[in-house]
Amino acid sequence: MSDAPHMAPGGLVVDQVALAIQTLRASTPGHFDALVRIDNRADEAIAPFQFDAARGMLHRKGCRAIPVNAPLLGLAEADPDYMIYACKRCKPVPETSPETKAADRADVMFGLVSLVDQFAGVLKERGRDYRQTADGQHLGAQLQDVYQALGAREKEIVDVVIGALDQVAARLRSLDGGLKQTAAKGED
C-alpha cells in the first residue's frame, strides 16, 4: 500500500482520523471488542411487526399470510401511518412509541463510559507518539492553519466544544473509577 497523502485540507484530515482509528485494533490486539455495530439483526429478530417491502403490507411477526421469501423489514413499533397497509388476516394494531425510556438513557451513559474507557488511554498515548512523527508535525501545522482561518465566533464554538468534551471525559473517568471501586467493595 502506498503512503498516505501529505496534503490534508478539510475532509482529508477527517479521512486520516478515520484511518487512524482502524489502526488502533492492530496496535493493541485483544483489547477492543466492537467499535460500532451497524448490524441490528438481533433487534429485528424480536421485532413484533414485519413490513413486506415488495407488497407494502404490514403483518404481525409470523403471520401465515406473509408470502414465502418476502423481503421483510422488522419493526419494533408500528405507528398509525402503517395501519392502512395492515394485513387483514393478522390485523396488527398500532403501538405508540414511548417517550425516551430510562433504560435508553442508561444505554447512552454506558456507551459513553465504555468509549472513554476503551479509547481515552490509548488515544492519549497514540496522540503523544504521533505528535513526534513527521506526519504528526505536518498535520499539527495544518490544524493550526485551519484553526487560524476560523472566524472569532467559530473559534469560540470550537473552544467551548473541546472544553466540554474534556470535562465530560474527566467526569466520566472519575465516575467510572467510582463504579469500579464500588464493584470491588461489593466483591469483598
Partner 1 sequence: MFAGQTAKTLPWMPDDACIARVEGLARTHRAAVHEVLSPVVAAWHPKFRVESAAEFDKMIELSTKMTLVGHACAEVVGAPFGAREQRIAALYGGCCFLADSFIDNFGDAASRDYLRRFDELFLSGWFEVRTDRERLFYVLAARLFAERDMLEPMVRQATLKLHAAQSLDALLRIDPWRTTDLTATQRRALFKRVARDRGGHTILLLTVLVAPRLAPGLVAGLFSAGSLFMYIDDHGDFFTDRRDGRSTYMNLLRRPEPALHRIVTAHFLTILAKLPGNEGRDALLAILARYYFTRIDKHRVQEQGGGTAWDVYE
Residue from 50, 51, 60, 172 in contact with partner 1 (CB under 8 A): 51
Residue from 14, 160, 164, 170 in contact with partner 1 (CB under 8 A): 14
Q: Does 1 bind partner 1 (CB under 8 A)?
A: yes
Q: Does 109 bind partner 1 (CB under 8 A)?
A: no
Please say which residue, 51 or 60, places its beta carbon nearer to partner 1: 51
Per rule CB under 8 A, count of chain residues that contact partner 1: 42
Residue from 29, 30, 36, 187 in contact with partner 1 (CB under 8 A): 36
Integer CA distances (angstroms), 51 to 77, 87, 88, 187, in order: 11, 10, 14, 47
Supply the minimum distance, in Å, between the C-beta of residue 115 and partner 1.
Answer: 12
Give the dihedral of Cα atoms 140, 145, 150, 156; nearest 10 deg: 40
- With contacts defined by CB under 8 A, name the span among 67-75, 123-131, 148-156, 173-181 that binds partner 1: 67-75
Residue from 58, 66, 116, 172 in contact with partner 1 (CB under 8 A): 58
Q: Does 41 bind partner 1 (CB under 8 A)?
A: yes
Supply the minimum distance, in Å, between the C-beta of residue 118 and partner 1.
Answer: 12
**Interface residues toward partner 1, by CB under 8 A:** 1-2, 4-5, 7, 11-12, 14-15, 18-19, 22, 25-26, 32-41, 43-44, 51-56, 58, 69, 71, 73-74, 76, 81-82, 84-85
